[in-house]
Structure 1
Amino acid sequence: MDLDIVGLSRLQFAMTALYHFLFVPLTLGLSILLAIMETVYVMTGRPIWRQMTKFWGVLFGINFALGVSTGIVMEFQFGMNWSYYSHYVGDIFGAPLAIEGLMAFFLEATFVGMFFFGWERMSKVAHCVVTWLVALGTNFSALWILIANGWMQNPVGAKLNPQTLRMEVDSFYEVLFNPVAQAKFVHTVSAGYTVAALFVLGVSAWYVLKGRHTELAKRSMTVAASFGLAAALSVVVLGDESGYATSEHQKMKLAAIEAMWKTEPAPASFTAIGLPDQAARQTHYAVHIPWVMGLIGTRSLTEEITGIEDLVTAAKGRIREGQQAYDTLQKIRALGAGVPIPSDLQQAFDAQGRSLGYALLLKPYVDDPRQATEAQIEKAAWDTVPQVAPLFWSFRLMVGLGLFFIVLTATFFWLSARRRLDAHPWLLRLAVWSIPLPWIAAEAGWIVAELGRQPWAVEGVLPTAVAVSELGASTVLFTLLGFVAIYTVLIVVEMKLMLKAIRKGPEPDAPPAAGADVPLIGKVHTA
């Protein structure tokens, strides 16, 4: 990545997003685990489940507070570092973010307060409802963010107004039910559930190894193992759905993930390992598994997966069509604001406008894309290829860790069913040392999703190089270093607070007041 204004702006957003994404998955998963634990408490009336909910709730609260503080900064960056992006697509991109802030964030934040301060002020059932609403708000927040992000990956339900040079919503229904957004949402939240499950499993295993709070720890391990196994399996299944959506809407990303330089006969093989060489446009020492990629990418044995070189050739055609669209756009804008567009120009723009974004790929090389040379078109076409090696290895790291999580959670689920969670200390130590791994997998998944979209800020519509603000590189570098320093401090603070809470362990929980609700299971037995 060149350290110019574009490269520095990308790096700044990437760093803040990667830092923020350290907090998000644990918040998503712990909120559901808290709701499950408190539901068991309400149904059984056993105080140990109330104590579990309160203990893991403390860790949730620490993570939630720091996640909010890091997330707010990211939204400001759209106006500060990506002002042309905000101008060009703000009418569509801003709507899900506004809904997330007004509905999900306030819903989440309000009920988080009631969760922590309402234990002695509400009935058990009412407090359990609050806990489920915290989980609902947390996941709603992720939904709207991923609808916005999914639109960047697959911009449906919108069209460009050639007179204002702004994208406008054509169908909010299509934006909302964008197949890429829906696939990303379920895949991301399942990954978050896996992060939380492995976190609870690892911390509980540490307690068992130390012989502390074993009753709470073993119950927590049972919940985490069963929940984590379901989540890890869901990540694989839903990841397959996400991969299929990528093959439909982001063919270059899929080809780069596979380092597939040439189109292979159907069904394409999967490259298990290899050394992608982008300069030589080949993958050295590749080990292929026949048919697998064709089945994953197309769900058939007859459809091809297009290779990078053929996709670049197609991009050249789109660039040339985009030059025509750019010419038509300039004729429309020459008419002036508010002047009706002649039908012939409107028809021409409607036919060519889908490729306008490809013409904008020429902007780093020439001010007027219509004046581009063949050599500049060739460079712009190859710019549509993202960095292959980071994508290739990030994807394989994510998949390999995902398979490991399935094996680990399945093992502890089996031990839990046999009531032998403490039978193998080496497995408990493995669970403790595995705590960071789901975060690594989640960050690798983020790299696959976002680096794979380059060079586009919005796929096929707005190149990243055009979307930035007109700032000095030194200004962006200064703020980049500032964010890295502040966020690093926040990470250290969170880790110290979390470790302090874990070492301290759960607080002794006072018994419910006289006249408290009768457990739901008790009501059934009484009846």
Structure 2
Amino acid sequence: MFDLDVVTLSRLQFALTALYHFLFVPLTLGLSLLLAIMESVYVMTGRTAWRDAVKFWGVLFGINFAMGVATGVTMEFQFGTNWAYYSHYVGDIFGAPLAIEGLMAFFLEASFVGLFFFGWNRLSKVGHLIVTWLVALGANFSALWILIANSWMQNPVGAAFNPQTMRMELTSFVEVFFNPVAQSKFVHTVSAGYVTGAMFVLSISAYYLLYRREHRDLARRSANVAASFGLASALSVVVLGDESGYTAGFNQKMKIAAIEAMWETEPPPASFTLIGIPDLETQTTRFKIEVPYLLGLIATRSLDTPVDGIKPLVEHSQERIRNGMSAYEWLTARPDGAAAPIPPDLQASFKDLGHTLLLKQFRPDIENATDEQIHQAARSTVPNVPVLFWTFRIMVALGFYFILLFAATFFVASRRRLRHNPWLLKLALYSLPLPWVAAELGWIVAEYGRQPWIIDSVLPTFLGVSNIPAHNVLASLVGFVLFYSALAVVDVALILKYVRLGPPSEPRTPAPEPDRILVA
């Protein structure tokens, strides 16, 4: 049973709002680019059927975009309400990409969304096409800056602790922007969004081809684009996900070990556990089926570099906790308002100050911590192994399923046999929710796997919360659940309404009536 303290409630609230908001982000990314591709075909060919397709999918994009805005704005307010110390401690760094996202990406996207909907009869074909591409560009820019901010939490580069202000401060924006975690996370996340958009278009097109005769031309065209785009995107997700694993193998070794349920360091190259049952009591993984060499290649790109296990990493955390004690003692021994710089011999100790702060959850006077409390703090660096183990494997299995589905659809569509394969169309229709499941699981792996850190190795999560009563957070959590549930009902109802309506029927020239022959 959870202890519903302010830390747990704040984490639960942010997790729920983030996961709900992330239902709309992938579809916005995927649909915006598909709209740009379809309109490009319209401008190049002049066929009005492509324009009608853009308008139809654009309506569904608009519904999703509005919901994404409504759910995204509330998330940023939580940094000030529920995570005040976090905002104080790293606001100079974390706030910079968020501000750029709001000024450059969000306003760019939102401004051109209006032109997209109301500019069909006011802009030239090329002018409107440019607007549509700018909408897609704005959506991707928005994701870029958000992921730069999030990746800094996973790998805090370009920043340093200032003992005078007792805060983390920015030292190099270039390092923050070119954070290797940010680069790999961005391309992996947007590719997952493209898969979501492609599946959305393919599934609804399959519905029309199966059950709606009047919209089959639009469905056939849309399905062709979605199948080819989805196949390329699904392949990209797997390749770029491998790159994310490589970067995590350097800066988040505990996350990799937990995902693999690897308790001991294996001789290189480490094997990848395809499936198994993690046992927390014995700290082993039972009934393992392994793929030789694969984990070593993913995490280290070599055959002779070991991948550290959970137990050795816990021992290393104990060393870092002890090493950071010197920095903590120096800070607490200074007189109030002292502005002395960090002594050179303590520079290494300050790199481990975050680990020492883990002791705060066991006793306030951490300089007097016992060996057992230090060991407890080190054990707290291990995230929930079974959750990460199974979440990651379900996500990966879905990724390979998407490749097979899009490949089969692309092959059949290229032979103009899609309408004659109802089993494949039904499979595509029923697969509609799966990209969202994969995206949410990926977010859980990234965020839950970072625990117990809100900023990896710098600030423990329990220290980042605001000093407010738990019942205040509980009240706002209940409010968010009710409000977001209402939004979910509205969103689903609107999408179903416009899917049932379909695109506007093209006017048809009535067939000439046959001559009437009067028979006497």
TM-score between both structures, scaled by the size of structure 2: 0.96
Tell me which of 288, 291, 294 is aligned to 2:293. 291
Instruction: Give the deviation of 1:183 after TM superposition.
Output: 0.6
Stretch deviating more after TM superposition (287-296 or 455-464): 287-296
Describe the SS at the equivalent of 2:359. Answer: coil
Cα distance in 1 between the residues matched to 2:448 and 2:406: 30
Alignment of 1:274-423 (within 5 A): 274-332=276-334, 334=335, 336-337=337-338, 339-341=339-341, 345-423=342-420
Partner of 2:178: 177
The answer for the alignment partner of 1:448 in structure 2 is 445
1:85 aligns with 2:86: yes
| Contact preservation (8 Å) 2:164, 2:340 | no
Which residue of 2 is the match for residue 516 of structure 1? none
* In structure 2, distance between residues paired with 1:40 and 1:188: 26
CA distance in 1, matches of 2:178, 2:51: 38
Residue number in structure 2 paired with 1:52: 53
Alpha-carbon separation, structure 2, partners of 1:181 and 1:293: 22
Contact 1:51–1:508 under 8 Å retained in 2? no
Residue type at the aligned position of 1:94: G
Matched residue of 2:157: which SS?
coil
Q: How many residues align?
A: 506
How far 1:510 moved relative to its partner? 8.6
Q: Which residue of 1 aligns with 2:116?
A: 115
> Residue in 2 aligned with 1:515?
none
1:309 maps to amino acid: K
Structure 2 unmatched runs, 5+: 509-520
Say whether 1:219 aligns with 2:221: yes
Structure 2 residue 34 is the aligned partner of structure 1 residue 33: yes
**TM superposition shift of 1:482:** 1.4
Give the Cα separation in 1 of the matches to 2:165 and 2:302: 43
Residue 373 to residue 207, structure 1, CA distance change in 2 (3 Å): same
Task: Measure how far apart 1:8 and its partner are.
Answer: 1.1
For the 8 Å contact 1:259–1:388, the answer to whether it is kept is yes
Q: Kindly state the Cα deviation for residue 349 of structure 1 after the two structures are TM-superposed.
A: 3.4
Q: Does 1:428 align with 2:425?
A: yes
Matches within 5 A, 1:134-149: 134-149=135-150
Distance in 2, matches of 1:18 and 1:172, equals: 28
Q: For residue 512 of structure 2, what is the aligned residue in structure 1?
A: none
Q: Verify the 8 A CA contact 1:39 1:128 in the aligned structure 2.
A: yes
Please say if residues 294 and 303 of structure 1, whose CA atoms lie closer than 8 Å, have aligned partners that are also in contact: yes
2-structure distance, mates of 1:351, 1:292: 34
SS in 2 for 1:212: helix
For the residue of structure 2 that corresponds to 1:160, the secondary structure is strand
Q: Which portions of structure 1, spanning 4 or more consecutive aligned residues, are displaced by more than 3 angstroms?
A: 508-511
Q: Does 1:478 align with 2:462?
A: no
C-alpha distance in 1, partners of 2:171/2:18? Answer: 29
Q: CA 1:510–1:39 in 2, change beyond 3 Å: closer, same or farther?
A: farther
Q: 293-302 vs 254-263, which deviates more? A: 293-302
Asked whether the equivalents of residues 254 and 310 of structure 2 are also in contact (C-alpha less than 8 Å), the reply is: yes
Cα pair 1:294 1:300 within 8 Å, conserved:
yes
User: Within 2, Cα distance between the matches of 1:226 and 1:3?
Assistant: 48
Deviation of the 1:412 alpha carbon: 0.7
Letter in structure 1 aligned against 2:399: G
Cα shift readout 1:330-354 (whole Å, capped 9, x = no counterpart): 234x2525x443xxx5213322111
Residue 210 of structure 2 corresponds to 209
Corresponding residue for 1:156?
157
Kept in 1, the 8 Å contact 2:354–2:457? The answer is: yes
Deviation of 1:3 after TM superposition, in Å, equals 2.3
**Secondary structure of 1:168's match?**
strand
Deviations along 1:213-272, one digit per CA (max 9) or x if unpaired, are 111000000000000000000000000000000001100000000000111111111111
The alignment partner of 1:386 has SS state of: coil
SS at match of 1:375: helix
Which residue of structure 1 lines up, in the alignment, with residue 515 of structure 2?
A: none
The residue identity in structure 2 corresponding to 1:287 is I
Q: Output the amino acid matched with 1:244.
A: Y
Distance, in Å, in 2 between the alignment partners of 1:145 and 1:168 is 19
Structure 2: distance between partners of 1:448 and 1:162: 33
Structure 1 unpaired stretches of 5+: 512-527
Paired-residue identity, %: 64
**1:75–1:510 distance in 2 versus 1, CA, 3 Å:** farther
User: How big is the shift at 1:418?
Assistant: 0.7
Write the distance in 2 (CA, Å) between the matches of 1:403 and 1:330: 53
On the 8 A contact 1:47/1:509 being kept in 2, the answer is: no
Distance 2:348 2:192 in 1: 41
Partner of 1:361, secondary structure, is: helix
**Between 201-210 and 267-276, the greater mean CA deviation after superposition:** 267-276
Aligned partners of 1:329 and 1:349 also within 8 Å: no
Q: 2:456 aligns with which of 450, 454, 459?
A: 459
**Residue matched to 1:74:** 75
| CA–CA distance in structure 1, aligned partners of residues 386 and 479 of structure 2 | 29
* Segment drifting more, 201-210 vs 362-371: 362-371
**Distance in 2 between residues matched to 1:63 and 1:510, nearest whole Å:** 29
The answer for the alignment partner of 2:20 in structure 1 is 19
Which of 496, 501, 505 matches 1:499? 496
- What one-letter code is carried by the residue in structure 2 that aligns with 1:161? N
- Name the structure 1 match of 2:9: 8
Q: What one-letter code is carried by the residue in structure 2 that aligns with 1:282?
A: T
Report the Cα offset of residue 279 of structure 1. Answer: 3.4
Going from structure 1 to structure 2, the CA distance change for 1:350 and 1:507 (only over 3 Å counts) comes to same
Change (3 A) 1:497 1:243: same
- Taking the TM superposition and a 5 Å limit, the aligned residue runs for 1:188-267 are 188-210=189-211, 211-267=213-269
**Distance of 2:52 and 2:33 partners within structure 1:** 16
Contact 1:247/1:298 (<8 A) preserved: yes
* Corresponding residue SS for 1:262: coil
How far did 1:212 drift? 3.2
Which position in structure 2 is the counterpart of 1:523?
A: none
